[in-house]
Amino acid sequence: MTVYMRKRINTQLTFFTIFIITAVVSVISILFYDILKKQVFEDLRINACLLKEIDETQLVNFKDLRITKIDSDGIVLFDNNADIGEMDNHAYRPEIEQAKEKGFGQCVRRSDTLNRNTFYYAINLDDGKILRVAHDAASIFGIINNIIPIIILVFLVILLIIIICARFITSRLIQPIINLTNYTNDIGCSQPIYTELLPFINTIRMQHEDILKNAKMRQDFTANVSHELKTPLTAISGYAELIENDLCNTDEIIHFSKEIRHNSQRLLSLINDIIKLSELDNMDDKSSFEFFDLYDVVSKCIDMLKVTAMKNDVSLFLEKSDDIKINANREMITELVYNLCDNAIRYNNKNGRVDIYIKNIDGKKTFIVSDSGIGIAPEHQERIFERFYRVDKSRSRQTGGTGLGLAIVKHIVSLHSASINLESKLGEGTKITIVF
């Protein structure tokens, strides 16, 4: 579900502010009413005290206040505003009951006689009678009624200001988020941005860079594959054409056939390596892992490579110092060992040697392939693990290399959460250490 952030912030900000203002106005009104009530009762009290001594004949002249005298048993003796003949017994009026009990009483209620909301204050007189003064609530709240239109007007103006402010604040809040798009693309972007969003932006930026890097790698890989496939295919096609047109003698036919076989072999190795790489790319679970003895795998690889070693006049030595069992994919480890040993033989000198060690170093399961070969110059050492990177292309091709061997090794190492370390000196040899 998508929602418009701007609309949501705007609405919530507006409603929240309206709610706060309404709450504040309500609290102020309640406090105001309370103060007003206290003030009215205080006025009535003062009036009652002053009127205590005044004679009933004079009390008739007070028009603003309703003044009532009640006997101790509740019979109304005097009222300057109503006909006492029609008034019932007042003994149970709340203010009268209070006055009888504690000397004075007060309350706000609807008058039974006048049928209006009224403030009452009653006091006990010395002769046991009760004097009650009352004020019509309508005349007091009339003041409030007069200011209600002004309050409504002020409220509407405030509402308008809130709406305008909410829009302005929302725009300001949203702007840094809108700036995000530019910020993720342009590192030096000078537009303001929320500090809290920086980790998010950095993640996006890193992912963006990864995507670009991967796209570039894929492009390079496709270009390299096409190139690597094209060269042997062109040779095969050329030799086949010569044979087809009967343009060569028997010796040449044998030579060209050998070349066709050699190039086909190259194509096959290349395709096999590409398939292996793509299998490794798609493999991310450890379900195919098993515990096995590393020595078994290494000795089998050495057996497979004996012929190549002999052809290159290189001697292989395997030294096993400890029993090392690893939890790994047997096929992948065979590939890794084979590739490293094969390289150590192929990039070696006549009468060179390859030493292979299986041992525990500082409690870590370690596999080492060390050769006395041509070595790798420092500037190439980082890059030889890249796909199709070769220091000497012609030597690699001549010896049946595809340029993918170490890329496969690196991939297998990372899938096994192992580490790889290369030490090499040009002209002296190379040592590759894998720690499981």
What residues line the site for ligand ADP (CB under 6 A)? Answer: 339, 343-344, 347, 371, 373-376, 384, 389-392, 396, 401-407, 430
State the minimum distance, in angstroms, from the CB of residue 235 to ligand ADP.
18
To 10 degrees, the CA torsion angle through 22, 23, 24, 29? Answer: 90
10 Å Cβ neighbour count for 216?
10
Q: Which is nearer to ligand ADP, 232 or 375 (CB)?
A: 375
Helices assigned H by DSSP within 5-136 = 5-51, 56-59, 94-102
Q: Which is nearer to ligand ADP, 134 or 384 (CB)?
A: 384
State the minimum distance, in angstroms, from the CB of residue 269 to ligand ADP.
8
**Parallel, antiparallel or unpaired: strands 429-435 and 364-371:** antiparallel
Helices assigned H by DSSP within 248-291 = 250-282
State the minimum distance, in angstroms, from the CB of residue 197 to ligand ADP.
42
Q: Which is nearer to ligand ADP, 140 or 369 (CB)?
A: 369
Q: Which is nearer to ligand ADP, 263 or 343 (CB)?
A: 343
> For the chain, how many residues are written?
436
Q: Which is nearer to ligand ADP, 134 or 332 (CB)?
A: 332
What is the amino acid identity at position 105? G
Say if CB 385 and CB 410 are below 8 A apart. yes
Say if CB 354 and CB 348 are below 8 A apart. yes
State the minimum distance, in angstroms, from the CB of residue 226 to ligand ADP.
18
State the minimum distance, in angstroms, from the CB of residue 306 to ligand ADP.
18
Name beta bridge partners: 370: 355, 431
State the minimum distance, in angstroms, from the CB of residue 406 to ligand ADP.
3
State the minimum distance, in angstroms, from the CB of residue 421 to ligand ADP.
13
To 10 degrees, the CA torsion angle through 219, 223, 229, 230? Answer: 150
Tell me which DSSP letter residue 331 carries: H
Q: Which is nearer to ligand ADP, 130 or 354 (CB)?
A: 354
Q: Which is nearer to ligand ADP, 113 or 396 (CB)?
A: 396
Say if CB 69 and CB 131 are below 8 A apart. yes
